[in-house]
Amino acid sequence: MDVMPKWAEVILVPLISLLLAAILSALVILAIGEDPVAAVKLMVTGALGSSYGWGYTLYYATNFMFTGLAVAVAFHARLFNIGGEGQAALGGLGVALACLYIPWPHWSLALVGAAIAAGLFGAAWAAIPAWLQAKRGSHIVITTIMFNFIAASLLNYVLVNMLRPKGAMDPASARFPEAVQLPTLHDLLAPLGIEFSKAAPANISLLVAIAACVVIWVLIWRTRLGYEIRSYGHSESAARYAGMPPNRIIMVTMLISGALAGMMAINNVMGEAERLVMNAVEGAGFIGIAVALMGRSHPFGVFIAAILFGFLYQGGAELALWTTIPRDLIVVIQALVILFTGALDNMVRMPLERVFLALRSAPKPGRKEG
Amino acid sequence: MTRDPAIELKGISKAFGPVHANKDISIRVMPGTIHGIIGENGAGKSTLMSILYGFYKADKGEIFLSGKKAHITDSQAAIAAGIGMVFQHFKLVENFTVLENVILGAEDGRLLKPSIAKARRSLLELAADYGLNVDPDALVQDIGVGMQQRVEILKALYRQADILILDEPTGVLTPAEADQLFRILNRLREEGKTIILITHKLREIMDITDTVSVMRQGEMTATVKTSETSPAELAELMVGRKVLLRVDKTPAKPGAVVLDITDLRVKDEKGVERLRGIDLQVRAGEILGIAGVAGNGQSELLEVLGGYANGTGTIAMNGEKIDLTGKSSNGQSRRARGIAHVPEDRQREGLIMDFHAWENVAFGYHNDPAYRSGVLMNNAAIREDTTDKMQRFDVRPPDPRLAAKNFSGGNQQKIVLAREIERNPDLLLIGQPTRGVDIGAIEFIHQQIVALRDKGKAVLLVSVELDEIMALSDRIAVMFDGQIMGERLPSETDEKELGLLMAGITDTYNEHSVDEVQDNLAHVHAPEKGA
């Protein structure tokens, strides 16, 4: 029997986890002699108080939606893809090549082309660990994390030796042509008469990310492939019995996962930096794991969690900018959120389940403590 | 004469959340008797014994041992109080010797040698006293299941147990071994030991116990003297209504050969041959029962027929050969050939426990056009179909949106059966159809299997329950060590003969000792099935 009603499972548990993380963060801020209330205020106004703040929050959230979905899809097949970082980095390479070497007539075509390139590169990077898992039984956690390092080295090599414009000192590609510049939220909302900060990097990729959430939801819960992925994830032996080929499921799932992680590059590389730089992913691949955990591998949960983490990122940056709270502490706060929402799930769930049990059996008389 | 009962439980209650596993249970067991506890799966038998053995703490109630109130806080305390338990799944270290297993946890000092010497002496004494002969220096992995069970009993006796609890002890034994076990239990009773026997088999209760308690849904519905009751009455007490213990069926009318297997061989991952040249035929309109001790190749037979293990040899379905190794050898292609499969382990294979009932009804048939609309799955259609099937198979509760894990064992099995039988297959493979299924549902499941046969379909039944094989089969093939030892008609054989065949002894007309049976079985190393 399910102990808790669904709403408690989906909303109450993450909310309480979040609250605990917030309280602990507040204590840490207190301990270093700062005012937690002021800090929260600053984070909220900084991240959500202006369209500029929102622009950054949503920009980060877009990254996290892609990487969060990538992890979530793999989770459904009980594959732990922690290679989002590397796959997103390779996606960036795909975007850079597509944008630099193909003369796009219009940004919309460029977006489609770059998204496909990003997806292909990301998928290709996930394909090798997937193949090793399917054929050789090499554990995907180990291989994907190793591939993150290989991706970083590869990108380093490509940027320094191949894509770096002659004479530049910076390990980065040339700037993308004007024609592939993506419209920002400012550009998109202006025709609707809504004013949005011009400086904020949030761009049309946000819409692509939201569309990806919907597509993944359909894939997982409405298609036969999604059904097979979930079956395999829940019980490999049952999938075998049913005649679902495990190797194909592993490969296809990881290709989708890698493609999603790779597609993040249309946001950070194409939409914001407009050139490929070293370490463009900035840890978003790892944040994706926390986002997927907190979002319970459900696309809608990933959407919400991604916005929350976007807020933490932007709010944290504001804190570092305007207070003496060191940048490291921001990382601590983010880590606490990840710890509570992801790793310590049962710590909140178990007592909560007991509360619900007590509530349910309370009307029954004669249940004395022995 | 008023003697204190060896065990007295007074008003034991235990709840797991909203589930009352035990409700106000009281039992008195007199010393030197065998007391049976019978009940369906989930009736609370194991919980009750776990409380007695100190695994759980009762919410309410008291335990008295020989008239004195006992506080059994953990299994150490239970052992100290003279209680020994033989679990259904043995707790032995496979690569230790019998002696080492016996002293494990009861070593006297820091050095092993004196303990071993002492244990060897007392093992010899115990063997002489109770007829519990085992080779003390044999490795546990090299001796048969029946012997391993003896080691478990010896372990308890070595710890000076006066009370012995046996949980479903005959589940893994051949009939001959079970008889041997009962002789040992009789001997123990004569020596004044008190024995609690937990089982779901009525026959065992009738054969050996002095008194019997019946449990149903956490409550003790009756405690009676065995001599004053009957199997029918006990069954009724267990289920709460009258049940048919025999399967009603007319003689089979076998038709054309549906499944034709020749020289089928299967190797496991280690390269050990698990099926060593199987020849079998199953005809339309008949039930072929495969009898055998678990682990003699029955699972592999079902797996290769079901399409998820590779094999060599030929299998023909309705006269057409089936691909046994290629890419197209999988569950999907088997289903397309008209083979339906109710697997032995419904929780690991047949169902996905976290999936809703309707998702499970589509399981394996999710490519069916009726379950599709374009590229998407037609979930509404599947749910409708599930509601339909649940109704026809009397699945309770009939809620397609309930997760499989929330159904009882019997209802889970009905979901699998509904999914497979309603496809109207030419051949039904069915393994352990009533394992972990309550008596009430057993009756229904057996009826469905017979009904499919009566429609002219072929059924291949694998079961370790000899009673079930005898009751359902039109023909019986006995498997031992990956081979068919012989085929018999149920009307022309008995449990004794089948039991010998199950141990690989084919000259069933001569007398054979139990030791010979156990010796034979010990050479078959059952593959470990991960839980």
Residue B191, token pair as written in the block: 């020596």
Helical axes A345-361 vs A13-31, angle rounded to 10°: 130
ipTM of the complex: 0.86
The residue type found at A323 is T
Instruction: Nearest chain A residue to B15 by CA: give it.
Output: A367
pLDDT, residue B44, reads 85
pLDDT, residue A370, reads 33
Give the H or E element holding residue B283.
strand B273-283
Q: What is the pLDDT of residues B393-452, one digit of tens each?
A: 999 889 999 999 888 888 999 999 999 999 999 999 999 998 878 777 888 999 999 999
Q: Rounded mean pLDDT of chain B? A: 89
Q: Rounded mean pLDDT of chain A? A: 91
Contact status of A161 with chain B (Cβ, < 8 Å): no
* Nearest by CB: B355 against A224, A234, A369: A234
- CB pair distance less than 8 Å for A223 and B306: no
Residue A256, token pair as written in the block: 């989708």
| pLDDT tier at B531, thresholds 50, 70, 90 | very low
Contact status of B373 with chain A (Cβ, < 8 Å): no
| pLDDT tier at B530, thresholds 50, 70, 90 | very low
Q: What is the pLDDT of residues A279-325, one digit of tens each?
A: 999 999 999 998 998 888 999 999 999 999 999 999 988 888 888 88
pLDDT, residue A366, reads 41
A-B CB pairs within 8 A amount to 86
pLDDT, residue B89, reads 81
B/e letters for B195-204, b = 16+ CB within 10 Å, e = fewer, are bbbbbbbbeb
| A9 vs B contacts (CB less than 8 Å) | none
How many Å lie between the alpha carbon of B467 and the closest alpha carbon of chain A? 27
Q: Check: CB of residue B491 under 8 Å from CB of residue B316.
A: no
How far apart CA B216 and CA B44 sit, in angstroms, is: 8
Give the H or E element holding residue A236.
helix A236-242
- Does the structure show a pLDDT above 70 at A3? no
- Does the structure show a pLDDT above 90 at A269? yes
- CB pair distance less than 8 Å for A238 and B60: no
B/e letters for B63-88, b = 16+ CB within 10 Å, e = fewer, are bbbbeeebebeeeeebbebbbbbbbe
pLDDT, residue B42, reads 72
- Does the structure show a pLDDT above 60 at A1? no
Q: What is the pLDDT of residues A239-252, one digit of tens each?
A: 999 999 999 999 99
* Range 43-102 of B in CB contact (< 8 A) with A: 58-61
How many Å lie between the alpha carbon of B350 and the closest alpha carbon of chain A? 6
Q: What is the per-residue DSSP string for A121-188?
A: HHHHHHHHHHHIIIII---HHHHHHHHHHHHHHHHHHHIIIIISPTT--SSBPPPPPGGGPPPBHHHH
B/e letters for A319-356, b = 16+ CB within 10 Å, e = fewer, are bbeeeebeeebbebbbebbbbbbbeebeebbeebbeeb
Q: What is the mean pLDDT of residues B475-504?
A: 92
- CB pair distance less than 8 Å for B348 and A235: yes
| A370 vs B contacts (CB less than 8 Å) | 13, 58-61
| pLDDT tier at A341, thresholds 50, 70, 90 | confident
Q: What is the pLDDT of residues B132-148, one digit of tens each?
A: 888 889 999 888 888 88
Percent of chain B with pLDDT over 90: 56
- 3-state DSSP call for residue B221? strand
Which of A134-143, A189-198, B230-239, B456-465 shows the lowest per-residue confidence on average (mean pLDDT)? B230-239
Contact status of A227 with chain B (Cβ, < 8 Å): yes
Give the H or E element holding residue B358.
helix B357-361
Give the H or E element holding residue B413.
helix B409-421
Q: What is the pLDDT of residues B98-130, one digit of tens each?
A: 999 998 888 777 888 888 888 899 888 888 888
* Nearest by CB: B17 against A235, A357, A368: A357
How far apart CA B521 and CA A71 sit, in angstroms, is: 49
Contact status of B14 with chain A (Cβ, < 8 Å): no
Instruction: Nearest chain A residue to B380 by CA: give it.
Output: A222
pLDDT, residue B524, reads 66
- Does the structure show a pLDDT above 60 at B1? no
Helical axes A36-48 vs A299-322, angle rounded to 10°: 120
* Range 296-315 of B in CB contact (< 8 A) with A: 306-308
- Does the structure show a pLDDT above 60 at B284? yes
pLDDT, residue B525, reads 52
Among candidate residues A65, A73, A123, the one with its CA nearest the CA of residue A225: A73
Phi/psi at B328 (5° precision):
-85, 5
* Range 147-166 of B in CB contact (< 8 A) with A: none
How far apart CA B390 and CA B397 sit, in angstroms, is: 9
- CB pair distance less than 8 Å for B308 and A240: yes
- CB pair distance less than 8 Å for A237 and B58: no
Contact status of B377 with chain A (Cβ, < 8 Å): yes
Percent of chain A with pLDDT over 90: 70
| pLDDT tier at A362, thresholds 50, 70, 90 | low
* Nearest by CB: A241 against B17, B349, B406: B349
- Does the structure show a pLDDT above 60 at A56? yes
Residue B469, token pair as written in the block: 């094989």
The residue type found at B9 is L
| pLDDT tier at A2, thresholds 50, 70, 90 | low
Ramachandran sector of residue B318 (left: φ over 0; alpha: ψ -120 to 50; beta: rest): left
Q: What is the pLDDT of residues A86-109, one digit of tens each?
A: 999 999 999 999 999 999 999 999
Q: Check: CB of residue B218 under 8 Å from CB of residue B21.
A: yes
- CB pair distance less than 8 Å for B377 and A368: no
Contact status of A198 with chain B (Cβ, < 8 Å): no
How many Å lie between the alpha carbon of B464 and the closest alpha carbon of chain A? 21
Contact status of A247 with chain B (Cβ, < 8 Å): no
B34-39/B194-199 β-pairing: parallel
Phi/psi at B401 (5° precision):
-95, 10
Phi/psi at B12 (5° precision):
-75, 130
Say how many residues make up chain B.
531
Dihedral sign, Cα of residue B49, residue B55, residue B60, residue B66 = positive
Q: What is the pLDDT of residues B164-173, one digit of tens each?
A: 999 888 877 8
Strands (E), B142-203: 163-167, 194-199
Which of A142-146, B65-69, B207-211, B234-238 shows the lowest per-residue confidence on average (mean pLDDT)? B234-238
This prediction's pTM: 0.83
Whether omega before A183 lies within 30 degrees of 0, making that bond cis, reads no
Which one of A6, A232, A241, A359 makes the best mutation probe of the B interface by having the most chain B beta carbons within 10 Å?
Answer: A241
pLDDT, residue A345, reads 77
Residue given tokens 């079985």 in the structure block: B521
- CB pair distance less than 8 Å for A370 and B60: yes
Residue given tokens 């590169």 in the structure block: A121
- Does the structure show a pLDDT above 90 at A340? no
| A368 vs B contacts (CB less than 8 Å) | 60
Dihedral sign, Cα of residue B222, residue B225, residue B229, residue B230 = positive
